[in-house]
Structure 1
Amino acid sequence: MTDRMRELASEIVRLQTELDREIETRRKVLGWSVKKRLVAFEHGIARENRRLRMTVRSFLGKSPLATILSAPVIYSLILPMVVLDAWASLYQAVCFRVYGIPRVSRREYINFDRRHLSYLNWIEVLNCLYCGYANGVVAYVREIGGRTEQYWCPIKHALKISDPHSRYHDFLEYGDAEGYRARLDAFRDALKAEAEAAAEGGVAR
């Protein structure tokens, strides 16, 4: 990675930190906070949220017929998602232990907290549970794949990759044969160091 690339990566981290601060400020404006993974609304805000809940009849009445008829197709994806979730979990439980790669914490990617929003009716809650699970599984599997790629092939592609995973920017440049031979073990050692740090910190996996 060149000095300019390191500079840009550092700027990305800085901007992400700034964005996180803005999100926290917005949370306070909306009257909610998170403590020990539990979300709490101010009493008045919670009451107003319940008032804004749409009845199921109204919700269905405003939904286009095509949307209702396509719902079974959308929800049919739950089957491959569950298989992917289970298979990826088994894969990392076996292979990551063998390679010394830190296992990905599933709970950091799959979250069902939107079911507590009192302004959602039960259909909207179900939709949110489904979307949270499906997108969470994709993100979870993506991180598993990213760690696998760092171990076996930490090389950037010649062609531009749209929205690469978080580890990709640190990979070796395409065509850097000398760097690949010299630094492959360093990439693997970095993963092992992550695993050791997680173990020392008592992180649940």
Structure 2
Amino acid sequence: MSRIDEILGRMDALEKELRVELRDMKSEFLYTVQKKKVRFSAEVRAAHRELAAKWSDYVYDSGVWVMLTLPFIFMPLIPALMIDVSVWLYQLMCFPVYGIPRVKRRDYVVIDRHSLKYLNLIEKVNCYYCGYFNGLIGFVREVAARTEQYWCPIRHARPVKSVHSRYRHFFPYGDAKGYREGLNEVRTRFDDV
């Protein structure tokens, strides 16, 4: 195992540890998740409602310049929806042919912050938007990562700022022999998903 493989393994372990830690925060903020729905006690919901900002105050406090940026924020929504449908269809049609396990979109696109009573309507819309976009980017990245593992599982020569979940399975740059001898095995190595 190379030093790079060791570091990528530690990164994966830390990401798993982070997911567990985030999941365990439920007890600190007194909520449960039942059938994918978040539940707060009545007293916590009441306390949250008292902390909600009026939407009119929220708009006023944001200022004119922030309000003028709204069309630019929502402009990418149409292309995002097109990407969402295209990537969903792509993996639906191609992944079974390649033998790649499908990516569960619901594991990435999580829309749940709207049930927080301390958010006003505008903040809830913002949370829908951000949850959708960030989840969509994560979903698309995982579909692309699995595709890259099948078609071109070779690490880059230059360092990349952020590596995706499948990168640890890739061959080192320049390892022609390893690539030729191990390509078929790497193309089917999805037992960890």
TM-score by length of 1: 0.87
- Aligned residue for 2:21? 22
Change (3 A) 1:24 1:88: closer
Where does structure 1 differ by over 6 angstroms across 4 or more consecutive aligned residues? none
The farther-off stretch of 108-117 and 149-158 is 108-117
- Aligned residue for 2:182? 183
- Aligned residue for 1:171? 170
Q: Secondary structure at the match of 1:40?
A: strand
Q: CA deviation at 1:136?
A: 1.1
Change (3 A) 1:164 1:40: same
Q: CA deviation at 1:115?
A: 1.0
Q: Which runs of 5+ in 1 are unaligned?
A: 199-205
2-structure distance, mates of 1:10, 1:190: 15
2-structure distance, mates of 1:48, 1:17: 32
Q: CA deviation at 1:53?
A: 0.7
Q: Secondary structure at the match of 1:136?
A: helix
Cα deviations by residue, 1:54-95 (Å, 9 ceiling, x for unpaired) = 111111110121110111111111000000000011111111
- Aligned residue for 1:38? 37
- Aligned residue for 1:161? 160
Cα deviations by residue, 1:86-134 (Å, 9 ceiling, x for unpaired) = 0011111111121111111111111211111111111111111111111
Change (3 A) 1:128 1:80: same
1-structure distance, mates of 2:98, 2:19: 33
Q: CA deviation at 1:44?
A: 1.7
- Aligned residue for 1:121? 120
- Aligned residue for 2:147? 148
Letter in 2 for 1:133: Y
Aligned residue pairs total 193
2-structure distance, mates of 1:85, 1:168: 23
- Aligned residue for 1:63? 62
TM-score by length of 2: 0.92
Identity %: 40
1-structure distance, mates of 2:165, 2:13: 15
Q: CA RMSD in A?
A: 1.8
- Aligned residue for 2:104? 105
- Aligned residue for 2:75? 76
2-structure distance, mates of 1:37, 1:92: 25
Q: Secondary structure at the match of 2:171?
A: coil
Change (3 A) 1:101 1:25: closer
Q: CA deviation at 1:189?
A: 2.1
2-structure distance, mates of 1:139, 1:14: 18
Q: Secondary structure at the match of 2:69?
A: helix
Q: Secondary structure at the match of 1:29?
A: coil
2-structure distance, mates of 1:74, 1:151: 35
- Aligned residue for 2:129? 130
Higher RCO structure, 1 or 2 (CA under 8 Å, sep 6+)? 1
Q: Secondary structure at the match of 1:39?
A: strand
